[in-house]
Amino acid sequence: MKAVQFSNLILECATRTLRNQNGNKVVLRPLPYEVLLVLLQSEEPVTRDELFQRCWEGTVVTDQALTNVISSLRRNLLSLKAKCVEIKTISKVGYFIEVDGIEIERLPDVEAPEDVPRMFVDSELSALPPTHLDVPDSRTANLAKLIPALLSTTLIITLLLISYFKPFSEKPAFIKKGRYEQFALGDTHYFFKDMTSGFVSSDEVQEQLSRTIPPTCGVDIYIRLFPSSYEPDKVALSVWLQQEGGKRNHNFRQFAVEKEQIATYISEALVNREVTCD
Amino acid sequence: MRLVLSFTTLLLVAVIVYQWKYEEYDFSGTRWHCSETQMGFTSKAYGNYDKIEELTTIYFPTNGSALYYQSGTLTHKNGDIEPFELVVTSKNKIVANRIEQTFTSVDWSEKPLNSPLFIRDKNSAVGYESELNYYIDGKKLYFFSKSGSEEDNYACHKV
């Protein structure tokens, strides 16, 4: 059995199937199939009479029948995203298919339907002129099939990761490590954020802490300085202690802060029943 | 394949929207410990205290109610230490990542008799309504407000 390749389309004669490089296909009805083949065979415009003669075998039908067939073929080409293929109406003559290249290809045998038209046998199809083609090779076709499969797999994996890690749940800002200045003194990790207008610098805090807190504390210490909600001109402090690699935590609040005493407050925060230095 | 791809894409969008807007945690039957120390009081009422330590166990019998078992100590500046213990109840409504609470009762098991203002403040919780956001990360529970107010930032952990 033969197939006709033109532009990015393949017309499989045995099954009257017109398909594109993405695997999308349309099974043509017998008449549109015949009309398309006649147009592809001809290098010149085909008259309406000739089309009626060859495809309707002389049966008397209205002009509208051919117009409808041409319209349906144009729709098929459009739906298959045919490139550089156009069925042109030649005024007072008939129709002409403008196409980049046409080639006949031998395909694996497919069982033919009973209504395959007799008029287009292999020998006739062979008469079609071989030219250059835009049809992609089998590797491209395989790739075209592989891409949706890869996309689907990626989407499913993304779905599973989203369900597990819940990245779209609203996280409180105070637990986002990226919002803090981070430093470590020994095994103790500090996260520092000054929300005042420069009450104390991270370096000053580090300096105090290095003299006070044991470097083997093994606790994540989040320090936040902010303007007091109760007393204007005063600075308050929140410390959130998080057991490293564990679930236990402790909240500490100092409502009036003296900048030289920050390390003392952290020491006080570490005196609690939940999270202590190892 | 196109159908599978479209379906998976739709599912992905649905999961993201659900997680973002509608997903809520089932609190029923869970217990959480919240530990807090407060110091450096600036108000006259609390100026006598050096430190207030409080351990709260929040128990959710259902999603619609909670019991707060609170115990701790009040350390006065003169060195006196008063223990206290009370149970606060609340009616809750959980909508996505928000928890709306109305505190309904305060029952004292141990009153700090030298701290009438502290007792009064705790009792005044009855009828108080609060709306907070919550976030659960494994066995850790965080409370916070949309405005980012520092007073609302609070960390607890599952018992």
- pLDDT tens per residue across span A24-75: 889 999 899 999 988 888 888 999 888 888 888 767 778 888 899 999 999 9
Question: Are A84 and A129 found together in one domain?
Answer: yes
| Secondary structure element (H or E) that encloses residue A84, with its range | none
Between chains, do B139 and A247 touch, taking CB under 8 Å as contact?
yes
Q: Range of A24's domain?
A: 2-139
Return the CATH number at A53.
1.10.10.10
User: Within chain A, where are the H helices?
Assistant: 30-41, 48-55, 63-79, 122-126, 138-165, 202-212, 262-269
Rounded CA gap, B18 and B24, in Å? 9
Q: Which residue has the tokens 């207008």?
A: A197
**Structure tokens belonging to residue A44:** 């010149």
Q: Range of B91's domain?
A: 27-158
Sheet holding A85-90, edge to edge: A46-47, A94-99, A85-90
* Alpha-carbon distances, residue A268 vs A51, A52, A262, B12 (angstroms): 97, 99, 10, 47
Instruction: Give a yes or no: residue B112 inside a domain.
Output: yes
Instruction: Give a yes or no: residue A231 inside a domain.
Output: yes
Of the residues B9, B30, B37, B57, the best mutation for testing chain A's interface (the one with the most A CB atoms within 10 Å of its CB) is B37
Between chains, do B97 and A234 touch, taking CB under 8 Å as contact?
no
Instruction: Give a yes or no: residue B82 inside a domain.
Output: yes
pLDDT bracket for residue A5 (50, 70, 90): confident
Rounded CA gap, A14 and A107, in Å? 10
Instruction: Give a yes or no: residue A117 inside a domain.
Output: yes
DSSP B36-100: EEEE---STTTTTEEEEEEEEEEEEEETTEEEEEEEEEEEETTS-EEEEEEEEEEEEEEETTEEE
Return the CATH number at A232.
3.30.160
Instruction: Give a yes or no: residue A159 inside a domain.
Output: no
Q: Is the dihedral angle over the CA atoms A51, A53, A55, A56 positive or is it negative?
A: positive
Number of folded domains that form chain A: 2
**Least Cα separation, residue B11 to chain A (angstroms):** 8
Terminus-to-terminus CA distance in chain A, angstroms?
81
Residue A50: HSE in the Cβ half-sphere, 13 Å Cα cutoff: 15
What mean pLDDT value characterizes chain A?
A: 82
DSSP A128-185: SPP-------HHHHHHHHHHHHHHHHHHHHHHHHHHHH-TTSPPPGGG-GGGSEEEEE
Q: pLDDT tens, B95-139? A: 989 999 999 999 999 999 999 999 999 999 999 999 999 999 999
User: Would you tell me which residues 66-95 of chain B have a C-beta closer than 8 angstroms to some C-beta of chain A?
Assistant: none
Question: Are A12 and A134 found together in one domain?
Answer: yes
Q: Which amino acid is at A246?
A: G
pLDDT at A137: 52
Smallest CA–CA distance from A232 into chain B, residue:
B42
pLDDT at B1: 66
Question: Are A126 and A187 found together in one domain?
Answer: no
| Interface ipTM above 0.85 | yes
Instruction: Give a yes or no: residue A154 inside a domain.
Output: no
A vs B: CB pairs below 8 A: 138
Instruction: Give a yes or no: residue A35 inside a domain.
Output: yes
Q: Which residues of B touch A234 (CB under 8 A)?
A: 42
**Closest of A10, A18, A170, A137 to residue B132, by C-alpha:** A170
Instruction: Give a yes or no: residue B1 inside a domain.
Output: no
Residue among B53, B97, B154 minimizing CB distance to A169: B97
3-state class (DSSP) for residue A227: strand
pTM of the model: 0.63
**Closest of A157, A237, A252 to residue A196, by C-alpha:** A237
pLDDT at A138: 56
Rounded mean pLDDT, A237-266: 93
Number of folded domains that form chain B: 1
Return the CATH number at B62.
2.40.128
Residue among A169, A230, A252 minimizing CB distance to B37: A252
pLDDT at A126: 41
Q: Which residues of A touch B9 (CB under 8 A)?
A: 155
Instruction: Give a yes or no: residue B6 inside a domain.
Output: no
pLDDT at A108: 47
pLDDT at A125: 42
Q: Contact, B98 vs B64, CB < 8 A?
A: no
What mean pLDDT value characterizes chain B?
A: 93
Q: Which residues of B touch A237 (CB under 8 A)?
A: 40
3-state class (DSSP) for residue B19: helix
Residue among A152, A166, A257 minimizing CB distance to B5: A152
